[in-house]
Protein backbone atom coordinates (compact mmCIF):
# COMPACT_ATOMS: atom_id res chain seq x y z
CA UNK A 1 0.00 0.00 0.00
CA UNK A 2 1.27 3.42 -0.83
CA UNK A 3 0.40 6.82 -2.12
CA UNK A 4 3.03 7.31 -4.84
CA UNK A 5 2.73 11.00 -5.55
CA UNK A 6 0.50 13.85 -6.68
CA UNK A 7 -1.68 13.23 -9.72
CA UNK A 8 -3.96 16.24 -9.96
CA UNK A 9 -5.79 18.97 -8.08
CA UNK A 10 -9.42 19.89 -8.61
CA UNK A 11 -10.20 23.55 -7.93
CA UNK A 12 -13.76 24.74 -7.39
CA UNK A 13 -14.61 28.04 -9.10
CA UNK A 14 -17.82 30.04 -9.54
CA UNK A 15 -17.43 30.71 -13.23
CA UNK A 16 -15.53 28.48 -15.63
CA UNK A 17 -14.55 31.31 -18.01
CA UNK A 18 -13.15 33.41 -15.17
CA UNK A 19 -11.30 30.34 -13.91
CA UNK A 20 -9.81 29.65 -17.33
CA UNK A 21 -8.68 33.27 -17.61
CA UNK A 22 -6.91 32.98 -14.25
CA UNK A 23 -5.21 29.65 -14.74
CA UNK A 24 -4.26 30.19 -18.39
CA UNK A 25 -3.53 33.91 -18.59
CA UNK A 26 -2.67 34.68 -14.96
CA UNK A 27 -0.72 31.58 -13.97
CA UNK A 28 0.51 30.77 -17.48
CA UNK A 29 -0.77 27.18 -17.65
CA UNK A 30 -1.65 25.39 -20.86
CA UNK A 31 -5.37 24.77 -21.31
CA UNK A 32 -5.61 21.24 -22.63
CA UNK A 33 -9.36 20.82 -23.00
CA UNK A 34 -12.75 21.75 -21.59
CA UNK A 35 -15.64 19.43 -20.89
CA UNK A 36 -19.08 19.37 -19.37
CA UNK A 37 -20.74 16.63 -17.32
CA UNK A 38 -24.51 16.76 -17.15
CA UNK A 39 -24.45 13.84 -14.70
CA UNK A 40 -22.19 15.72 -12.26
CA UNK A 41 -23.70 19.15 -13.02
CA UNK A 42 -20.33 20.74 -13.77
CA UNK A 43 -18.21 22.39 -16.42
CA UNK A 44 -14.54 21.43 -16.37
CA UNK A 45 -11.25 22.77 -17.75
CA UNK A 46 -7.99 20.79 -17.69
CA UNK A 47 -4.49 22.28 -17.53
CA UNK A 48 -1.60 19.90 -18.18
CA UNK A 49 1.60 20.51 -16.19
CA UNK A 50 4.89 20.14 -18.09
CA UNK A 51 6.43 18.03 -15.32
CA UNK A 52 3.47 15.65 -15.12
CA UNK A 53 0.08 15.77 -13.49
CA UNK A 54 -2.62 18.35 -14.12
CA UNK A 55 -4.93 20.92 -12.59
CA UNK A 56 -8.66 20.67 -13.22
CA UNK A 57 -11.01 23.53 -12.50
CA UNK A 58 -14.73 22.86 -12.04
CA UNK A 59 -17.73 25.17 -11.94
CA UNK A 60 -21.27 24.04 -11.18
CA UNK A 61 -24.00 24.19 -13.83
CA UNK A 62 -26.44 22.88 -11.21
CA UNK A 63 -26.42 24.55 -7.77
CA UNK A 64 -27.63 21.26 -6.24
CA UNK A 65 -24.64 19.31 -7.56
CA UNK A 66 -21.90 18.26 -5.12
CA UNK A 67 -19.66 21.02 -6.51
CA UNK A 68 -22.51 23.57 -6.34
CA UNK A 69 -23.24 22.74 -2.71
CA UNK A 70 -19.54 22.85 -1.76
CA UNK A 71 -19.20 26.22 -3.50
CA UNK A 72 -22.18 27.57 -1.59
CA UNK A 73 -20.85 26.25 1.72
CA UNK A 74 -17.11 26.80 1.46
CA UNK A 75 -16.55 29.12 -1.49
CA UNK A 76 -13.90 28.79 -4.14
CA UNK A 77 -10.79 26.70 -3.45
CA UNK A 78 -9.47 23.18 -3.52
CA UNK A 79 -12.16 20.58 -4.07
CA UNK A 80 -10.06 17.41 -4.34
CA UNK A 81 -6.44 16.33 -4.07
CA UNK A 82 -5.88 13.29 -6.27
CA UNK A 83 -2.90 11.09 -5.51
CA UNK A 84 -1.54 8.26 -7.59
CA UNK A 85 -1.52 4.75 -6.14
CA UNK A 86 0.12 1.60 -7.51
CA UNK A 87 -2.33 -0.88 -6.09
CA UNK A 88 -5.78 0.62 -5.61
CA UNK A 89 -7.38 -2.45 -4.06
CA UNK A 90 -4.53 -3.05 -1.61
CA UNK A 91 -4.38 0.61 -0.65
CA UNK A 92 -8.13 0.81 -0.07
CA UNK A 93 -8.05 -2.36 2.00
CA UNK A 94 -5.14 -1.17 4.16
CA UNK A 95 -6.75 2.25 4.68
CA UNK A 96 -10.05 0.65 5.64
CA UNK A 97 -8.24 -1.57 8.16
CA UNK A 98 -6.56 1.55 9.55
CA UNK A 99 -9.97 3.11 10.18
CA UNK A 100 -10.04 5.62 7.32
CA UNK A 101 -13.53 6.50 6.06
CA UNK A 102 -13.73 5.76 2.33
CA UNK A 103 -16.18 7.02 -0.29
CA UNK A 104 -17.07 5.17 -3.49
CA UNK A 105 -15.32 1.90 -2.68
CA UNK A 106 -15.59 -0.55 -5.59
CA UNK A 107 -16.56 2.25 -7.98
CA UNK A 108 -14.45 4.05 -10.56
CA UNK A 109 -13.50 6.87 -8.18
CA UNK A 110 -12.47 6.16 -4.60
CA UNK A 111 -11.96 8.95 -2.07
CA UNK A 112 -10.85 9.24 1.54
CA UNK A 113 -13.34 11.38 3.47
CA UNK A 114 -12.05 14.79 4.70
CA UNK A 115 -12.98 13.72 8.25
CA UNK A 116 -10.27 11.06 8.01
CA UNK A 117 -7.54 13.31 6.56
CA UNK A 118 -7.81 16.54 8.56
CA UNK A 119 -9.82 18.31 5.92
CA UNK A 120 -8.77 17.00 2.50
CA UNK A 121 -11.03 15.13 0.10
CA UNK A 122 -8.35 12.74 -1.13
CA UNK A 123 -8.92 10.84 -4.37
CA UNK A 124 -7.00 7.60 -4.93
CA UNK A 125 -6.06 7.44 -8.62
CA UNK A 126 -4.67 4.20 -10.05
CA UNK A 127 -1.40 4.72 -11.93
CA UNK A 128 -2.32 5.10 -15.60
CA UNK B 1 7.46 31.34 -17.27
CA UNK B 2 5.87 28.14 -16.19
CA UNK B 3 4.62 26.12 -13.29
CA UNK B 4 6.32 22.76 -13.89
CA UNK B 5 4.46 20.49 -11.51
CA UNK B 6 3.45 19.78 -7.93
CA UNK B 7 6.19 20.05 -5.31
CA UNK B 8 4.41 19.71 -1.97
CA UNK B 9 1.22 20.29 -0.04
CA UNK B 10 1.05 21.89 3.39
CA UNK B 11 -1.85 20.66 5.52
CA UNK B 12 -3.00 22.58 8.59
CA UNK B 13 -3.86 20.39 11.61
CA UNK B 14 -4.80 21.15 15.21
CA UNK B 15 -2.46 18.66 16.80
CA UNK B 16 0.80 17.49 15.26
CA UNK B 17 0.73 14.05 16.94
CA UNK B 18 -2.81 13.37 15.74
CA UNK B 19 -1.76 14.54 12.27
CA UNK B 20 1.26 12.23 12.26
CA UNK B 21 -0.90 9.29 13.32
CA UNK B 22 -3.27 9.98 10.43
CA UNK B 23 -0.73 10.52 7.68
CA UNK B 24 1.66 7.78 8.78
CA UNK B 25 -0.62 5.08 10.16
CA UNK B 26 -3.88 5.91 8.37
CA UNK B 27 -2.63 6.88 4.92
CA UNK B 28 0.56 4.79 5.08
CA UNK B 29 3.04 7.57 4.32
CA UNK B 30 6.64 7.55 5.43
CA UNK B 31 7.42 10.12 8.14
CA UNK B 32 10.74 11.61 7.11
CA UNK B 33 11.32 14.11 9.90
CA UNK B 34 9.68 16.51 12.32
CA UNK B 35 10.69 20.07 13.05
CA UNK B 36 9.61 23.12 14.99
CA UNK B 37 9.89 26.77 14.00
CA UNK B 38 9.70 29.26 16.84
CA UNK B 39 9.76 32.09 14.30
CA UNK B 40 6.67 30.77 12.51
CA UNK B 41 5.02 29.43 15.67
CA UNK B 42 4.50 25.95 14.25
CA UNK B 43 5.40 22.29 14.58
CA UNK B 44 5.97 20.47 11.32
CA UNK B 45 6.11 16.87 10.08
CA UNK B 46 7.31 15.90 6.61
CA UNK B 47 6.19 12.84 4.64
CA UNK B 48 8.20 11.99 1.53
CA UNK B 49 6.29 10.53 -1.41
CA UNK B 50 7.94 7.63 -3.28
CA UNK B 51 7.21 9.20 -6.69
CA UNK B 52 8.64 12.60 -5.71
CA UNK B 53 7.35 15.56 -3.77
CA UNK B 54 6.17 15.56 -0.18
CA UNK B 55 3.34 16.38 2.20
CA UNK B 56 4.03 18.65 5.16
CA UNK B 57 1.63 18.92 8.06
CA UNK B 58 1.76 21.95 10.35
CA UNK B 59 0.19 22.64 13.72
CA UNK B 60 0.38 26.00 15.50
CA UNK B 61 2.32 26.37 18.75
CA UNK B 62 1.23 30.01 18.84
CA UNK B 63 -2.47 30.78 18.21
CA UNK B 64 -1.46 34.20 16.83
CA UNK B 65 0.79 32.68 14.15
CA UNK B 66 -0.39 32.71 10.53
CA UNK B 67 -1.17 28.99 10.80
CA UNK B 68 -2.93 29.49 14.16
CA UNK B 69 -5.13 32.25 12.77
CA UNK B 70 -5.94 30.24 9.62
CA UNK B 71 -6.84 27.23 11.78
CA UNK B 72 -9.15 29.38 13.90
CA UNK B 73 -10.81 30.90 10.84
CA UNK B 74 -11.00 28.02 8.39
CA UNK B 75 -10.29 24.86 10.38
CA UNK B 76 -8.09 21.99 9.33
CA UNK B 77 -7.28 21.48 5.65
CA UNK B 78 -4.94 22.58 2.92
CA UNK B 79 -2.81 25.55 3.89
CA UNK B 80 -0.54 25.84 0.85
CA UNK B 81 -0.06 24.22 -2.55
CA UNK B 82 3.58 24.49 -3.56
CA UNK B 83 4.42 24.18 -7.24
CA UNK B 84 7.82 23.84 -8.81
CA UNK B 85 9.02 26.56 -11.18
CA UNK B 86 12.09 26.58 -13.42
CA UNK B 87 12.69 30.29 -13.41
CA UNK B 88 11.36 31.94 -10.24
CA UNK B 89 12.22 35.50 -11.23
CA UNK B 90 10.74 35.21 -14.72
CA UNK B 91 7.62 33.50 -13.40
CA UNK B 92 7.09 36.14 -10.73
CA UNK B 93 7.58 38.92 -13.25
CA UNK B 94 5.14 37.41 -15.75
CA UNK B 95 2.53 36.80 -13.06
CA UNK B 96 2.89 40.34 -11.77
CA UNK B 97 2.40 41.66 -15.31
CA UNK B 98 -0.71 39.48 -15.62
CA UNK B 99 -2.17 41.14 -12.51
CA UNK B 100 -1.63 38.33 -10.00
CA UNK B 101 -1.24 39.50 -6.39
CA UNK B 102 2.08 38.19 -5.03
CA UNK B 103 3.25 37.77 -1.43
CA UNK B 104 6.90 37.80 -0.34
CA UNK B 105 8.40 38.93 -3.63
CA UNK B 106 12.18 39.03 -3.42
CA UNK B 107 12.18 36.88 -0.29
CA UNK B 108 12.94 33.19 0.11
CA UNK B 109 9.30 32.16 -0.22
CA UNK B 110 7.04 33.68 -2.85
CA UNK B 111 3.30 33.02 -2.91
CA UNK B 112 0.38 33.94 -5.14
CA UNK B 113 -2.47 35.30 -2.99
CA UNK B 114 -5.63 33.15 -2.78
CA UNK B 115 -7.62 36.14 -4.13
CA UNK B 116 -5.71 35.75 -7.39
CA UNK B 117 -6.12 31.97 -7.72
CA UNK B 118 -9.77 31.31 -6.75
CA UNK B 119 -8.89 30.30 -3.23
CA UNK B 120 -5.45 28.64 -3.23
CA UNK B 121 -2.39 30.00 -1.44
CA UNK B 122 0.08 28.99 -4.15
CA UNK B 123 3.77 28.81 -3.30
CA UNK B 124 6.30 29.11 -6.12
CA UNK B 125 9.17 26.75 -5.36
CA UNK B 126 12.38 26.97 -7.42
CA UNK B 127 13.43 23.61 -8.84
CA UNK B 128 15.96 22.15 -6.41
Percent of chain A clearing pLDDT 90 (strictly above): 93
> Which residues of chain B lie closer than 8 angstroms to A1, CB-CB?
28
Q: What is the DSSP letter of A51?
A: T
Give the per-residue pLDDT at B102.
97
> Which residues of chain B lie closer than 8 angstroms to A17, CB-CB?
none
Give the pLDDT confidence of B2-40 residue by residue, as tens digits. Answer: 899 999 999 999 999 999 999 999 999 999 999 999 999
Higher pLDDT, B10 or A2: B10
Does the domain at B3-126 match CATH 3.40.50.1220? Answer given as no
3-state secondary structure chain B: CCEEEEEEEEEECCCHHHHHHHHHHHCCCEEEEEEEECCCCEEEEEEECCCCCEEEEEEECCCCCHHHHHHHHHCCEEEEEEEEECCHHHHHHHHHHCCCCEECCCCCCEEECHHHHCCCCEEEEECC
Cα(A76)–Cα(A67) distance, integer angstroms:
10
Strand partners, A81: A9, A122
Is B53 within 8 Å of A1 when comparing Cβ atoms? Answer: no
Give the per-residue pLDDT at B17.
98
> Is the reported ipTM for this assembly greater than 0.90?
yes
Give the per-residue pLDDT at A1.
54
> Which residues of chain A lie closer than 8 angstroms to B122, CB-CB?
27
Q: What mean pLDDT comes out for the span A43-58?
A: 96
Amino acid sequence: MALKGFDHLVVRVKDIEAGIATYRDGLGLELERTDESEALGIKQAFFQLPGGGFIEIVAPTDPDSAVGRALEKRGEGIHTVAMEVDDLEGTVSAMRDAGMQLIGEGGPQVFVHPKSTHGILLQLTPRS
